[in-house]
Structure 1
Amino acid sequence: MPGFFVTGNLYRPKKITGKVPGILCPHGHWPNGRFYDMGEQAVKQAIIIGAERFENGGRSPLQARCVQLARMGCIVFHYDMLGYADSRQLSFELVHRFAKQRPEANDPQQWGLFSPQAESRLQSVMGLQTYNSIRSLDFLLSLPEVDPQRIGVTGASGGGTQTMILSAIDDRVAVSVPCVMVSTAMQGGCTCENACLLRIDTGNVEFAALFAPKPLAMTAADDWTREMRTKGFPELKALYTLLGAPDNVALFDFTHFKHNYNHVSRAHMYLWMNRHLKLGLPEPILERDYNRLTARELTVWDEKHPPPPGGFDFERQLLQWWDADARKQLDELVPMNRRELNEYRRVVGGAIDIMVGRRLPDAKQIEFEDTLKEDRGDYFLIGGLLKNAAWRTANPVLFLHPKIWNGQVVLWLDQSGKQVLFAGDQPAPQARRLLKAGFAVAGIDLLYQGEFLPDGKPLARTRKVDNPREAAAYTFGYNHTVFASRVHDVLTMLSFCRHHEFEPEAIHVLAGPKTAEIAAAARAQSADTVRSLAVHTGGFRFANVADIFSPDFWPGGAKYHDIEGLFALGAPGDTWIAGERSLPVVEAIYKAAGARRRLVLARSADDSWLGDAIDWIIDRAEIAD
């Protein structure tokens, strides 16, 4: 990222022969970060309780571990977390204390971090901080003396989070020691440790498990990790045993100390690094005192190297560059032929799969509890609850089933829910048209539609977790958005219809404004279940959602070609779209799939689109027959 700097200090052994291990040290949330100095009185108290050994060196546990690892023969890079020490381009208050949405940062053209525009592009401080960790590793590996096969990472608290995440996603790490962080309890309290989508149905123990079977050691203290011995570590031990490496995982359990990376914990880390980086040093390994450096001596900025620009203007420029770079890469993925189409589906489809979080469910987990069945002359009216036991959901649904059935189903999605099928107590005119053409017509109340609304008022803002800070990640890092939940509801309905005992020949989906994007996402996640999709988008774009608690908010929704990416993943299926002048990405992908004629960009007026869409569905059914 041009103009965005990673800052830190490099520690090197005085004598280097051949290749030596490299170790990254992210510092965590200690006051002043890399410049941390606990002071005279605090270090004396730490010595009394056995947490530190030296009055001078013990004042900075962060420097102490870097010095000792260098004395052990490793090259160590101690780098800043965002907002700490020399990394001030994004302020400490923004990165670690963000609490209130900023109107000036909620701008569709020049947005800032934590805004709905940033979140819809998956731009977060945790993402930036993790990127800094990756770049720090790149830097370490660029040094000619560093052995790329012997790379370690260790940090505590927030530095433990970075250790755990980097080790999970970067295969170059060989040994990992995240301290006082991995647990089944608190997962990371700072905004820099949270991101939308990150911990839905998962958590830090599973992140740590991604490093298996490589050497992983952790520490526990009298904090949220105090129960790790019985909750979390047994499961990690079982995994390592299953993978044939039971001795490659360890928990150093020092719960008589408060939250720390003290000398006792560090001493056990040194042993772990010694053994698994094959340093060959005699054990035990104890620290010696050292000449602790001051902040003035540690800083990387001086008159010859002044600090780079920062602040709000820089923040917005950084996000603009990030967005432009992502768009450029995605645009280059738009295929020209079927071979390239597979790569687009892998990248964009893989992202959408994670963002939606669920696919077409197994029919065995779905149950229909019928509460209504009426013979209405030429059709049956059937109603009830569609339950998905595994997902713990239940949706009110209605079916209009003609007595002379053509074997096909139209699922009609609308912001009013299943009530769209009726005008008073009779089928709505367009529903009646479908019945006469032989289609079964289905309607569903998605989450917070229809019967979910006792007062009948549409949902204006979604629920959030009990946290006063207005960062989307605190709610949507652990819970699905309303948008994603509604997509899940549609997937349940599609699976039920597809696997129904009547064995329908085809399923079509019809959706208007406020539900077109839901329909497109569900189709993208349901393989070939939907034969045809007919929608009016109303010009919807996730990039235009201006509230992180809007029912339409979806983290990442704007990043992968926005709504166009969802339609594109439906290729080569039959698709009819109104409300759009052009969709170049969708058109290009249908052309690459050899199915351009199966995509219709309708010029229907807003008051006639529904009839035109139903005409098209009826025509497509007849062509298929």
Structure 2
Amino acid sequence: MIKFIPWSSILILGLINQLVAAPLALKNGQLPDDIRLLPLKDLNGYFPFDPPSSKKEWEIRSSKIRQELRVAAGLYPEPTRSPLNAVVRDKKECGDFTIEKVYIETLPGFFLTGTLYRPNREIGKRPGILCPHGHWKDARFYDAGESKAKKEIKIGAENNLDSARNPYQARCIGLARLGCTVFQYDMMGDSDNHQISHEITHRFARQRPGMIAKKEWGLYSPQAESHLQSILMLQTWNSIRAIDFVQALEDVDPDRIGVTGASGGGTQTFMVSALDSRVKVSMPAVMVSTAMQGGCTCENASLLRVNEGNVAFAALFAPKPIGLTTANDWTKEMTTKGFPQLKKTYEVLGYPQNIMLHNRIEFDHNYNLPSRQSMYKWFNEHLGLGHEKPEMEKPHKRLTKEALTVWDKDYPMPSGGEDFEIGLLTYLTEDINKKIINNSDVSRKGWEVVLGLDSERNNDVEWDLTLKNQEEGYVEMSGLINNKTSKESIPAIFLYPKDSWNKRVVIWLNELGKSGLYKSGANSSELKEDILNVLSQGTAVCGIDLFMQGEFLKDGKPIEVTRTVANKREAAAYTHGYNYSLFVKRVRDILTTISMIESNGHGANHIDLVGLQGAGHWAAAANFLSKNLNRVVIETGGFEFININSIRHPDFLPGAARYGDIKALISLAKTSPWIVDDKGLPEWIKN
């Protein structure tokens, strides 16, 4: 039998429910006006670069950007430089240049393959040039085919069939003829480099359950991300070791090192140029722009472009000579977006002559003859090659795969596959652990990047009171903590003792948000005993809804998975390379709250922080970043970042395990916290 309840009774029940529920900062169902609720940023966003106004400003800012880049690339600290065990063999004379087959061991058991091009004449010490290539299939062996080559010649992109069929060889041969020793090396998963496959390196799309584990894991897993182990890391390390190799060659002047590559090779060019001071001249082709930042998994890494983009990374090379090229691709607006700001940076530093843009947007994505000619002139000028007309590229006979391939029956291809991949990451983990375990300074600096330390983001924080209730023994005030600088808004509750306030405030974190101060969460207005105990001592209590808690959610239920960008490929870098993790956003909310209490003008002399029952790791991170907390109470509940098994877990944090996990966060903080797991609750909470 169905019972009908009169509307008047429903209204009364609703009013009663409102009276007994935890107070809200906003109207029921209204979300905070917070920029973080907008769609996430992705690689197809807009990445403008603001030039510095002075040398001093750039000195400080570039140091910060470079450190962020080094951490994101998994190269802070760098792996141990193991012996290269270089093999250079099978020299062939090709008229006015020679070629040799090369492989080097950039990490134990991990090989980089390529071809060494040299001028076939004695000219003493000469420049060494690195030529990483992009995403042209097997670029070192590439053959565009006669039909496509003829089309390139017809539109003026090339002037002979052999160069048109493989413009990447043409670049190396052209530089060798100009008097340079050139090392063209393979991307991972390309040409001779297959220890980690092309599918994993460049086309990874789905998480591999069998490669997710606390002790032995593979690339793209939550554990690899927590150690900042990525394809971008491995390829950039290959480039750094390639410089080691080229610099050590007897015919190379170690002080004249240049790098040039296109597309994905352009990414490697500006990466190694920014991170390795030995590079003296750089020319990343058709890659640097304020638009698309690189679509391949090999060009992305968690944390990489959260604050800056590729134009800023190119600017890190200043004031040394850098040349850039454009095409009818994402670089086509570079003349008005990106290059003027780079030019301004060089002007501020006093070297306007050291930057150049070759703008030819009538051609599609390329490293064609006009681009190569521009590069030849640039390298000729800045590496002192001494040619009157370096751009005059002569014809050559295209080299076949059979002439170039490194591996044969006498030099068999090394083993690879998943077991190799796991073993390589295990070696890297153990190697880095040795460097960090007794070096708190390295760990601290790594954590500052991982957690997005920004001393200026809380300079303008306000409290907006929306509701005030007089309760027995305390005043209950709801409102919003508005960060005007970052355009963020945090729902909060302040509970003030009615009697004498002791000028102390406790920020009380809970996995439910501010409703966790109440016995039955959002459905109760009755405070928990611990909160009443603290209030009875004359201490105020603050509860907040961290981002995606409480009033950030329409149903108020804790989220189980985080948002991702539209890209369906299950690589964390596509989301976390452009956006801070939910964990970082929540920690920043705590810091904003601390800043508001400090600057509010109500006279708080002491700020305490409590993180219990699923909130201890947030408290540990906030305590690490804050310098002004008095008492900190943390309950970890055995939490460790290394145990997180999903890149969409709300506590997923790239880089956390690399720098010592939660134990390091706790030990590195200025305020030594009370650990509930070891000691139980402190007396001032138990009363």
User: Same fold per TM (> 0.5)?
Assistant: yes
TM-score, normalising length: structure 1: 0.90
Determine the structure 2 residue equivalent to 1:541.
640
Determine the structure 1 residue equivalent to 2:70.
none
Q: Match of 2:645, as an amino acid?
A: A
1:73 and 1:618 map into 2 onto residues whose CA distance is: 78
Determine the structure 2 residue equivalent to 1:275.
381
Determine the structure 2 residue equivalent to 1:413.
509
| 3-state DSSP of counterpart to 1:564 | helix
After TM superposition, list the pairs within 5 Å mapping 1:85-484 onto structure 2. 85-283=191-389, 285-333=391-439, 344=440, 346-361=441-456, 363-402=458-497, 403-423=499-519, 424-484=524-584
Displacement after TM superposition at 1:258 (Å): 0.4
2:329 and 2:619 map into 1 onto residues whose CA distance is: 45
Determine the structure 1 residue equivalent to 2:621.
521
Displacement after TM superposition at 1:273 (Å): 0.2
1:509 and 1:394 map into 2 onto residues whose CA distance is: 20
Displacement after TM superposition at 1:532 (Å): 2.0
Displacement after TM superposition at 1:285 (Å): 2.1
2:108 and 2:385 map into 1 onto residues whose CA distance is: 37
Q: 2:187 aligns with which of 81, 85, 89?
A: 81
1:391 and 1:248 map into 2 onto residues whose CA distance is: 36
1:35 and 1:392 map into 2 onto residues whose CA distance is: 51
TM-score, normalising length: structure 2: 0.82
Q: Match of 1:35, as an amino acid?
A: F
Determine the structure 2 residue equivalent to 1:582.
none
| 3-state DSSP of counterpart to 1:137 | helix
1:618 and 1:416 map into 2 onto residues whose CA distance is: 21
Q: Is the contact between residue 117 and residue 543 of structure 1 (CA under 8 Å) also seen in structure 2?
A: yes
| 3-state DSSP of counterpart to 1:484 | helix
| 3-state DSSP of counterpart to 1:427 | coil
Determine the structure 1 residue equivalent to 2:668.
569
Q: Is the contact between residue 480 and residue 492 of structure 2 (CA under 8 Å) also seen in structure 1?
A: yes
Q: Match of 1:421, as an amino acid?
A: L
2:518 and 2:213 map into 1 onto residues whose CA distance is: 40
| 3-state DSSP of counterpart to 1:352 | helix
Gaps of 5+ in 2: 1-106
Shift in CA distance, 618/141, structure 1 to aligned 2, threshold 3 Å: farther
Map Cα deviations across residues 332-361 of structure 1 (whole Å, 9 max, x no partner).
32xxxxxxxxxx2x3112111111113455
Q: Is the contact between residue 175 and residue 277 of structure 1 (CA under 8 Å) also seen in structure 2?
A: yes
Q: Is the contact between residue 493 and residue 544 of structure 2 (CA under 8 Å) also seen in structure 1?
A: yes
| 3-state DSSP of counterpart to 1:260 | coil
Q: Match of 1:93, as an amino acid?
A: E
| 3-state DSSP of counterpart to 1:84 | coil
Paired residues in the alignment total 576
| 3-state DSSP of counterpart to 1:502 | coil
Q: Match of 1:494, as an amino acid?
A: I
Question: What is the percentage of aligned positions where both structures have the same residue?
Answer: 49
Determine the structure 2 residue equivalent to 1:60.
166
Map Cα deviations across residues 304-348 of structure 1 (whole Å, 9 max, x no partner).
211111011101111111111111111232xxxxxxxxxx2x311
- Which consecutive segments of 4 or more residues in structure 1 shift more than 4 A? 360-363, 616-619
Q: Match of 1:372, as an amino acid?
A: L
Displacement after TM superposition at 1:484 (Å): 0.8
Gaps of 5+ in 1: 334-343, 580-600, 605-611, 620-625
Map Cα deviations across residues 286-313 of structure 1 (whole Å, 9 max, x no partner).
1111122111111111222111110111
Map Cα deviations across residues 65-116 of structure 1 (whole Å, 9 max, x no partner).
1111011111110001100011100000110000111111112222111111
1:363 and 1:65 map into 2 onto residues whose CA distance is: 50
1:223 and 1:17 map into 2 onto residues whose CA distance is: 40
Displacement after TM superposition at 1:362 (Å): 5.6
Displacement after TM superposition at 1:417 (Å): 0.6
Map Cα deviations across residues 252-278 of structure 1 (whole Å, 9 max, x no partner).
000000000000100000000000111
Map Cα deviations across residues 509-549 of structure 1 (whole Å, 9 max, x no partner).
110132211111111111x2112211110100100000001
1:441 and 1:365 map into 2 onto residues whose CA distance is: 22
2:512 and 2:429 map into 1 onto residues whose CA distance is: 35
Pair 1:560-2:666 in alignment: no
Displacement after TM superposition at 1:284 (Å): 5.0
